[in-house]
Structure 1
Amino acid sequence: MTVASKEQVVRDVIDAYVDAMNRGDIERLRQIFAPDCEIQGVTGTGAFEFAASIWRQLHGALNMKLVIEDCVVEKDRAAVRFRETGRWTAPFLDFDAPTGNSYELVAMEWFEIGNNQVQKRWGARDAAAQARQLGFPVAAGPVKSKEGAA
């Protein structure tokens, strides 16, 4: 495989990830991620199932959407800067009084791709700005879990 075609495969995987994430399609995300993937986010590090539980909440309660602002691909890795938006319309984590407020923030994610799947994903976003914009009663802290991340 040439470098250009390998980089195109990585970009195709990233585009599929964004499409599935924006639709809240957990089953499609499961196909995009390797069975033994490692996902690291603001809530910790873990396997697909823990991340999927947070992603379900992000869609069901915060109506999250991602737009790629920048994407840099080199060999089997990608760094992506997103504009993330949403609106709080249902209970989320321990917060059960949705304000209806919307949010917009910058999110950054890094990916390692192998065998046409995400092997590792690291994510960082300004959760404090999100909490302020949405009107969470207190700043959201990390979710405690033995298994992992989001």
Structure 2
Amino acid sequence: MTAHDDAAVLIRRLQECFNTRQFDRAADLHTPDFFSHPLGTAGFDAGKAAWHALTARFPDMRVVAEDIVVEGDRAAVRSTVEGVAAPGGARPELVEIFRFEDGRFAEMWGAASGFPAANSPEDLVA
């Protein structure tokens, strides 16, 4: 398997954990000192709490990777978001960059667009 294939499989596994609400399984996909730049925290527990808050707001929310670009130990992912009523009917999107270490997520940066006002994933960090 190539590095691209490994990264794509890991990203799709993470999205499957989110989409099936099996948040505890996602913890094994992250290094112990995983760092989420949007949340400003280390460890997966804050991310898991953010996932719970996000799915409480949007119970039908699902993410689908549309593009995965891998270079070295990083991958950029553009995902569409289903199950969220967006203004003007546009489908919300997420753009995330992951850094991998030993076959697991070590760091994440992200941005969202197209979410209803005051309901963006970035609001979870406020």
TM-score of the superposed pair, with normalisation by structure 2? 0.81
Deviation at 1:18, TM superposition (A): 1.2
**How many pairs align?**
117
Deviation at 1:15, TM superposition (A): 1.2
Which segments of 5 or more consecutive residues in structure 2 lack a partner in the other structure?
Answer: none
Contact 2:53/2:124 (<8 A) preserved: no
Q: Work out which structure has the larger RCO, using CA pairs closer than 8 Å and 6 or more positions apart in sequence.
A: 1
2-structure distance, mates of 1:84, 1:123: 14
In the other structure, the counterpart of 2:30 is 33
Give the counterpart of 1:111 among 88, 95, 98: 98
Q: Which has the larger radius of gyration?
A: 1
Q: Percent of counterpart pairs with the same letter?
A: 26
- Offset from partner CA, 1:41-76 (integer Å, 9 cap, x none): 2xx311221121110122233122111111111222
In the other structure, the counterpart of 1:16 is 13
In the other structure, the counterpart of 2:50 is 54
Aligned residue for 1:131, secondary structure, equals coil
Q: Map 1:114-125; keep pairs closer than 5 Å.
A: 114-125=101-112
Q: Where has structure 1 moved over 6 Å in runs of 4 or more?
A: none
RMSD between aligned residues: 1.9
